[in-house]
């Protein structure tokens, strides 16, 4: 064995474990297991055509070389992306800290209190800056947030407007071009018409339901929308405002002039530009629309002992429940980046944020004055950080351009001839002098010298912010680095992550996120680049992305890949829109029926509806397989209008269905296209692929199969792969040529969340063809090993024809409810006492647990998990046999906090020791849960989503 092979670090089980694991499963070799699991008619005939894996050291050299090909210039382009200083204490303790980046979306509230508090801070910060009532814990980016705002205004339009068929959304011409482009994509399938115009001139029409404006706008101008807002409201229309959190420190927040929705990017709150992403979008609204909030909201509630606790609120809105009635498909969002932005506000506080805003503004004013002195004209009447300079006749734009590039600076060039400068947190005296040098030289004037930045403001009294913000305790406490680091650590200690124990969430593929894969994220050559700089400043990025696209095409069998979608669900939407364009191009635009199995993830039907399609549900048979005859009948019934079939493979039931080829065939024969949900790709890589199976499009969740960490609920990347006939429809970008010419944009940034792509790139380069295939085989081995050891106690709900599961399995728990009154949630909570995060609850089958171990877990860890599950099973038996009380037992009271266990008063019918140390190894490695079981219903009845009134809340 080559000791430095990365595959040996990525994969958990050792060579010596395989024999024992195979014996437990009842196979003689790994290949025998794979033969019993993956249908032979879909197996690849040849190994992946990818190079061998690099060692970690060799990869490091390669990625350093690529990084060196990116050039980090000072960039004043603005348009939604600004350089920012990530406080090092946040970079080191959050961005680079696996407790924060490897944790899961906080569904299991009791082991997620740290990140829940961080996200509550983010929501509070957004409410404070915007002066709105309620904010969510992030959306994918500003442009998709605009689309969510449009959908919300449409869904909540007044009855009069609904009856009148009002379907026009006004968009001011001065919103970011990428925002407008995404709005175009998203409006069309919903039957919404966009009217692009000038808010100050256009007459409000009868058929408008809402309007979207930008504040400050595309030109950098701070407009007064208060009049427009009241006129809209008089006409039963709503207004959504794209805004800039930093600007709102100085200008009147939209909540104070009665905006209905305020959204935007929180990037400049300490999240690097990353060549476009990831960063968190924020979304805030008036109390009245809280039931329509897209994405996730963190709320306050209490635990079983009455103690304050946090959890995700209003979970009934999730697509799982609403499915085809959902109006938004947000699942993975941008939790890690929202956490960072919230912490930026915690660290700087109101005076710090105001100081940063004042400084950027003052520099803008100073530059405007100095540049004017050189004979130019500054055009913006009211600006925050962006000035717009028109050139005197004798100055050529080209001169400004080469002079600035020569000094490693990027300016913005308006189509109308002006030059734009957006000032940010990083701009300093030296930069100011360089900027002035360019304008002076181009005008043939003497170069002025500036030696200080005077405080200065031109913000009109009428627009100046008068209200206070960030007055809550948390934003006024942690100013020294020591205090800040300890605050972050205090939150971190409350959470379970992958560095604590395996997180066996089915469908989520919580595998190793290797440190070598992660390190390049911290390099300025990757994270310090604005997405709209000339491509020759990002050659390293482009080389990496081209190779990555080629590798992903090889892995999926497809012809091309779009890296643009920022999550799996965004990929679903994009793929369906591509299919829609394809039908339209053939004169079959009427095809709008999509067949979706009942076992599908909730985002599937939600995405289909957003793409303007009609969902027809296909049932599963008693073995959990899609009912092929029902599929055939429905495909034939709808053959004139059949658009697509959405299928997850292997299925969400954890089985490689052998009829998959036949199913794809049925769809094609009836004129439809096959969309494969690639969430379960971890069971396919190297063994089979979507193309081989018969699909036309698939998305990949790079944050599942391809090693991007889950970040406590994002970032994600959801690229789609397509067969040749669909390549021409892949999404384009209005500002940068991203190589595709089809749909309008689906994300704000031309290459989506570019800065996390090196993680997947590294994963593929270091595993290589053999390692990737071996990872898949071991993922299947690990799942079948667990299934063999748990099947007698719990029962495995579905298996393939030869009795095998794929890379995950559903554990039956419903019989335990009948026999002992124990639910899958009780088991999940009791697992916390054993130091484990729960598997997936009640998806895709209610009352069950879905377990996916991944290849990264060692045999020892699998054994520990099995031991915990079987120990819990014997605790359930005690209830069944009457040895433990039906209500007062270790399961119903789980999880047990130290506070409860150490109280003088202990009234339970079991010992403290049994509650805390049910198995020997817990004494050595105990995770102390910070709160008792949280009360979801209480919090939903008393919805509180900011950290302001916590004390008063608990007194009620």
Ligand X SMILES: *Cc1c(COP(=O)(O)O)cnc(C)c1O
For residues 851 and 518, the answer to whether their CB atoms sit within 8 Å is no
Nearer to ligand X, 241 or 610 (CB): 610
Q: Which helix (H) or strand (E) holds 698?
A: strand 697-700
Placement of tokens 């297991």 in the chain? 33
Edge-to-edge order in the sheet of strand 238-244: 134-135, 281-285, 261-265, 238-244, 208-215, 168-172, 193-197
Q: Nearest distance from residue 811's CB to ligand X, in Å?
A: 17
Nearer to ligand X, 371 or 610 (CB): 610
Peptide bond into 715 cis (omega under 30): yes
Tokens at 25, concatenated: 């499963």
Q: Nearest distance from residue 396's CB to ligand X, in Å?
A: 47
- Residue 146: is it exposed, middle or buried by C-beta count within 10 angstroms (0-12/13-18/19+)? buried
Residue number with the smallest Cβ distance to ligand X: 568
Beta bridge partners of 388: 420
For residues 531 and 75, the answer to whether their CB atoms sit within 8 Å is no
Beta bridge partners of 311: 299
Please give the backbone phi and psi of residue 467, each rounded to the nearest 5 degrees, phi first. Answer: -80, 155
Q: Nearest distance from residue 329's CB to ligand X, in Å?
A: 7
Beta bridge partners of 242: 214, 263
Nearer to ligand X, 627 or 677 (CB): 677
Q: Nearest distance from residue 938's CB to ligand X, in Å?
A: 28
**For binding to ligand X (CB under 6 A), which residues are involved?**
331-332, 507, 567-569, 601, 603, 648, 652, 677, 679, 701, 716, 718
Nearer to ligand X, 709 or 716 (CB): 716
Peptide bond into 278 cis (omega under 30): yes
Spatial CB neighbours of 203, under 8 Å, sequence gap ≥ 6: none
Nearer to ligand X, 421 or 570 (CB): 570
Strands 560-562 and 193-197: unpaired
Nearer to ligand X, 601 or 777 (CB): 601
449 vs 455: CA distance, rounded Å: 17
Q: Nearest distance from residue 718's CB to ligand X, in Å?
A: 5
Residue 277, SS3?
coil
Strands 412-413 and 840-841: unpaired
Three-class SS of 771-794: HHHHHHHHHHHHHHHHHHHHCCCC
Nearer to ligand X, 325 or 394 (CB): 325
Q: Nearest distance from residue 223's CB to ligand X, in Å?
A: 35
Nearer to ligand X, 538 or 851 (CB): 851
Q: Nearest distance from residue 680's CB to ligand X, in Å?
A: 7
Q: Nearest distance from residue 481's CB to ligand X, in Å?
A: 34
Nearer to ligand X, 567 or 946 (CB): 567
Tokens at 257, concatenated: 């002039």
Nearer to ligand X, 331 or 806 (CB): 331
Nearer to ligand X, 210 or 718 (CB): 718
Q: Nearest distance from residue 257's CB to ligand X, in Å?
A: 34
Q: Nearest distance from residue 679's CB to ligand X, in Å?
A: 3
Tokens at 66, concatenated: 């690529």
Q: Nearest distance from residue 644's CB to ligand X, in Å?
A: 15
Nearer to ligand X, 216 or 716 (CB): 716
Q: Which helix (H) or strand (E) holds 500?
A: none
Among candidates 709, 678, 855, 695, which has minimal Cα distance to 773?
Answer: 855
Spatial CB neighbours of 284, under 8 Å, sequence gap ≥ 6: 126, 127, 130, 132, 133, 134, 135, 136, 255, 261, 262, 263
CA 185 to chain centre: 20
Q: Nearest distance from residue 664's CB to ligand X, in Å?
A: 18
Beta bridge partners of 213: 241
Nearer to ligand X, 90 or 660 (CB): 660
For residues 407 and 434, the answer to whether their CB atoms sit within 8 Å is yes
Q: Nearest distance from residue 568's CB to ligand X, in Å?
A: 2
């Amino acid at each position: 064995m080559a000791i430095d092979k990365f595959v040996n670090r990525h994969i958990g089980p050792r060579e010596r474990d395989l024999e024992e694991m195979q014996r437990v499963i009842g196979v003689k070799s790994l290949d025998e297991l794979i033969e019993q699991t993956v249908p032979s008619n879909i197996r690849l005939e040849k190994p992946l055509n990818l190079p061998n894996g690099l060692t970690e050291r060799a990869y490091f050299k390669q990625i350093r070389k690529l990084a060196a090909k990116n050039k980090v210039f000072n960039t004043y382009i603005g348009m939604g992306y600004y350089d920012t200083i990530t406080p090092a204490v946040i970079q080191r303790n959050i961005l680079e800290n696996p407790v924060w980046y490897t944790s899961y979306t906080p569904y299991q509230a009791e082991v997620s209190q740290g990140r829940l508090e961080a996200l509550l801070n983010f929501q509070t910060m957004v409410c404070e800056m915007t002066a709105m009532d309620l904010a969510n814990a992030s959306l994918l980016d500003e442009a998709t947030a605009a689309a969510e705002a449009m959908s919300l205004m449409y869904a909540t339009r007044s009855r009069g407007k609904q009856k009148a068929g009002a379907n026009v959304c006004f968009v001011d011409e001065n919103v970011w071009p990428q925002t407008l482009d995404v709005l175009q994509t998203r409006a069309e399938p919903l039957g919404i018409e966009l009217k692009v115009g000038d808010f100050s001139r256009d007459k409000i029409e009868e058929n408008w339901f809402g309007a979207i404006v930008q504040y400050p706008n595309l030109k950098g101008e701070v407009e007064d929308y208060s009049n427009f807002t009241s006129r809209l409201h008089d006409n039963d229309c709503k207004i959504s405002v794209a805004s800039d959190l930093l600007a709102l420190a100085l200008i009147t927040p939209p909540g104070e002039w009665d905006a209905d929705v305020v959204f935007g990017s929180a990037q400049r709150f300490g999240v690097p530009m990353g060549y476009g992403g990831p960063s968190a979008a924020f979304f805030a609204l008036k109390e009245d629309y809280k039931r329509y909030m897209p994405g996730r909201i963190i709320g306050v509630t209490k635990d079983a002992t009455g103690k304050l606790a946090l959890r995700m609120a209003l979970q009934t809105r999730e697509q799982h429940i609403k499915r085809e009635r959902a109006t938004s498909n947000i699942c993975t969002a941008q939790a890690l980046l929202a956490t960072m932005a919230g912490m930026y506000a915690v660290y700087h506080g109101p005076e710090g944020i105001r100081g940063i805003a004042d400084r950027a503004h003052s520099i803008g004013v100073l530059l405007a004055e100095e540049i004017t002195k050189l004979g130019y004209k500054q055009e913006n009447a009211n600006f925050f950080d962006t000035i717009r300079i028109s050139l005197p006749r004798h100055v050529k734009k080209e001169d400004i351009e080469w002079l600035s590039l020569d000094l490693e600076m990027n300016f913005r060039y308006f189509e109308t001839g002006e030059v734009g400068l957006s000032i940010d947190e990083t701009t300093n005296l030296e930069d100011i002098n360089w900027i002035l040098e360019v304008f002076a030289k181009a005008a043939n004037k003497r170069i002025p010298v500036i030696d200080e930045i005077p405080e200065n403001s031109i913000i009109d009294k009428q627009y100046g912010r008068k209200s206070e913000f960030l007055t809550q305790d948390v934003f006024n406490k942690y100013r020294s680095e020591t205090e800040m680091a300890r605050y972050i650590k205090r939150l971190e200690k409350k959470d379970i992550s992958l560095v604590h124990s395996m997180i066996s969430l089915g469908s989520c593929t919580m595998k190793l996120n290797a440190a070598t894969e992660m390190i390049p994220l911290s390099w300025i050559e990757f994270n310090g680049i604005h997405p709209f700089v000339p491509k020759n400043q990002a050659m390293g990025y482009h080389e990496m992305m081209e190779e990555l696209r080629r590798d992903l095409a090889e892995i999926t069998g497809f012809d091309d890949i779009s890296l643009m979608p920022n999550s799996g669900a965004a990929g679903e939407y994009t793929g369906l829109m591509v299919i829609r364009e394809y039908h339209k191009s053939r004169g079959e635009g009427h095809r709008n029926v999509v067949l979706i199995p009942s076992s599908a993830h909730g985002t599937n039907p939600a995405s289909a509806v957003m793409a303007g399609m009609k969902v027809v549900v296909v049932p599963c048979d008693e073995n959990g397989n899609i009912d092929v005859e029902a599929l055939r009948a429905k495909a034939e019934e709808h053959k004139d209008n059949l658009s697509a079939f959405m299928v997850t493979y292997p299925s969400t039931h954890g089985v490689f269905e052998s009829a998959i080829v036949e199913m794809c065939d049925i769809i094609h024969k009836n004129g439809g296209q096959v969309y494969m949900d690639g969430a379960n790709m971890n069971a396919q890589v190297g063994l089979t692929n979507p193309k081989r199976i018969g699909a036309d499009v698939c998305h990949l969740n790079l944050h599942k199969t391809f090693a991007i960490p889950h970040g406590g609920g994002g970032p994600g990347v959801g690229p789609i792969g397509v067969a040749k006939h669909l390549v021409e429809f892949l999404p384009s970008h209005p500002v940068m040529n991203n190589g595709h010419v089809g749909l309008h944009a689906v994300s704000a940034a031309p290459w989506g969340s570019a800065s996390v792509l090196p993680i997947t790139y590294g994963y593929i380069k270091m595993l290589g063809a053999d390692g990737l295939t071996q990872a898949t085989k071991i993922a299947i081995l690990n799942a079948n090993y667990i299934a063999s050891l748990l099947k007698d106690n719990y029962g495995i709900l579905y298996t393939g024809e030869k009795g095998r599961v794929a890379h995950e399995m559903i554990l039956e728990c419903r019989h335990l409810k009948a026999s002992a009154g124990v639910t899958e949630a009780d088991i999940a909570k009791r697992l916390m006492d054993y130091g484990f995060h729960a598997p997936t609850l009640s998806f895709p089958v209610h009352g069950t647990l879905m377990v996916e171990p991944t290849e990264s877990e060692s045999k020892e860890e699998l054994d520990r998990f099995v031991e915990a599950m079987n120990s819990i099973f014997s605790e359930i038996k005690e209830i069944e046999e009457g040895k433990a009380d039906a209500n007062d037992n270790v399961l119903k009271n789980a999880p047990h906090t130290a506070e409860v266990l150490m109280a003088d008063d202990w009234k339970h019918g079991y010992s403290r020791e049994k509650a805390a140390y049910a198995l020997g190894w817990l004494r050595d490695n105990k995770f102390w849960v910070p709160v008792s079981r949280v009360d979801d219903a209480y919090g939903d009845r008393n919805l509180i989503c900011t950290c302001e009134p916590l004390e008063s809340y608990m007194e009620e």
